[in-house]
Structure 1
């Protein structure tokens, strides 16, 4: 059994599967980590995802497709999968289908730092945001179990990383690892072409909707979530 499960929500980007698997191969991630692609059964490219899975079946690598019946927003899908899988994994991570690990041994670094924290969150350098924002991260499963979700703010897509950073700083349980590169191959960073999926989730309506939800959580939810995580860390005054 792996110690870390990384969940990768994906839609209409089956080409991301072999690219990400190759990056895991190159960085020695499989010894202590497992990978789950969270996809939708109504994805028009679902059969290509399934073919990629069949092509690698039996190769000894612990990865699989988790299929939901219909589309749901990325964060909602991530939360659903994470809360289901925490029974088997002490640490759960998130990465986009456009995040590629580049640093050999990155899994061991994540697990070592989280063991030192006890309860906490770690993230690496994504090659663009750096310390400013955890566009990918891993957290101990007790946080997910306590909050009953992986992303603190109930957004759909945007500001999820902001809320992870807010909670981690408020609860004093987050660490940035500048020596670990998990490269974000994103159009904003000039490392990919835009597509319909990027345009949809980065549209004006999505920003407005998620910004309102995020700001409401900061006003009315952050304090309670921080207190809950601080209690996990043994702060009796939380």
Structure 2
């Protein structure tokens, strides 16, 4: 099984996925797989399939097609199966770009040192404040059944991972590991329909409510499940 499998939910941006793949190929040195999760109703589905063909069968890039569940739903749909077949599991947006050579190996090494926990690098926007990209030990997902709280659609996933890592006492920030976030909030990309949908005031309010409810009612239970999870 791979040391690390990273899920990349993506819609309408096959060019973004290709740019991420190119950056991944240039910088990845670990036993890491990039799993692109694409909606079956994506109007650019053929473009994604073409990008996969261009990768010439490199097993480090995989494409999975399924129903549209938005970012949170997609992560939760794929994460249990991925976690069962990979020592560690992670998330990258299709607008993240690894810049540091060996970034994934450094993530894996940090997770091995933690035993159970969460690691993230410097996205050059949020830095230590939020893990907009993340890797975690697979037992976290196997114990809870989720990668983010059910009902969380897009925003506040990074707040969840930060809160969970802190509650576990097992989170590590790697400031010298650059995984740049090419987000329009930092004028590194143009606003498109996907960004507008994901970052509306209504979406923010709804996802914040899911996060705050989870933090108040479920976080401690997740921590208990993770700590009690049997490890071979």
Question: TM-score over 0.5 for the alignment?
Answer: yes
Q: Which consecutive residues of structure 1, in runs of 5 or more, have no partner in the other structure?
A: none
CA RMSD in angstroms comes to 1.6
| 8 Å Cα contact 1:152-1:225 kept in structure 2 | no
- When residues 108 and 6 of structure 1 are mapped into structure 2, their CA distance, relative to the original with a 3 A threshold, is same
| 8 Å Cα contact 2:149-2:210 kept in structure 1 | no
Partner residue of 2:88?
A: 91
| 1:139-158 correspondence runs (5 A) | 139-152=136-149, 154-158=151-155
- When residues 4 and 115 of structure 1 are mapped into structure 2, their CA distance, relative to the original with a 3 A threshold, is same
Query: What do residues 131-150 of structure 1 show as CA deviations (whole Å, max 9, x unaligned)?
Result: 00000000011110001011
> CA offset at residue 203 of structure 1?
0.5
| 8 Å Cα contact 1:124-1:177 kept in structure 2 | yes
Partner residue of 1:48?
A: 47
What secondary structure does 1:192 align onto? Answer: coil
- Of 54, 71, 75, 1:74 maps to 71
Please, what TM-score do these two structures have when normalized by structure 1? 0.93
- When residues 205 and 148 of structure 1 are mapped into structure 2, their CA distance, relative to the original with a 3 A threshold, is same
Partner residue of 1:11?
A: 11
| 8 Å Cα contact 1:153-1:217 kept in structure 2 | no
| 8 Å Cα contact 1:103-1:182 kept in structure 2 | yes
| 1:114-133 correspondence runs (5 A) | 114-133=111-130
> CA offset at residue 4 of structure 1?
0.5
> CA offset at residue 233 of structure 1?
9.8
What secondary structure does 1:122 align onto? Answer: strand
Count of paired positions = 231
| 8 Å Cα contact 1:154-1:214 kept in structure 2 | no
What secondary structure does 2:14 align onto? Answer: coil
Partner residue of 1:136?
A: 133
What secondary structure does 2:125 align onto? Answer: coil
Q: Which consecutive residues of structure 2, in runs of 5 or more, have no partner in the other structure?
A: none
Which contiguous aligned blocks of 4+ residues in structure 1 show a shift greater than 4 angstroms?
none
| 8 Å Cα contact 1:153-1:214 kept in structure 2 | no
Please, what TM-score do these two structures have when normalized by structure 2? 0.95
> CA offset at residue 28 of structure 1?
3.1
- Of 163, 172, 186, 1:175 maps to 172
What secondary structure does 1:15 align onto? Answer: helix
Q: Measure the CA separation in 2 of the matches of 1:155 and 1:28.
A: 30
Partner residue of 2:21?
A: 21
> CA offset at residue 17 of structure 1?
2.0
Query: What do residues 106-164 of structure 1 show as CA deviations (whole Å, max 9, x unaligned)?
Result: 11101111111001110000011000000000001111000101124641111111011
- When residues 153 and 134 of structure 1 are mapped into structure 2, their CA distance, relative to the original with a 3 A threshold, is farther
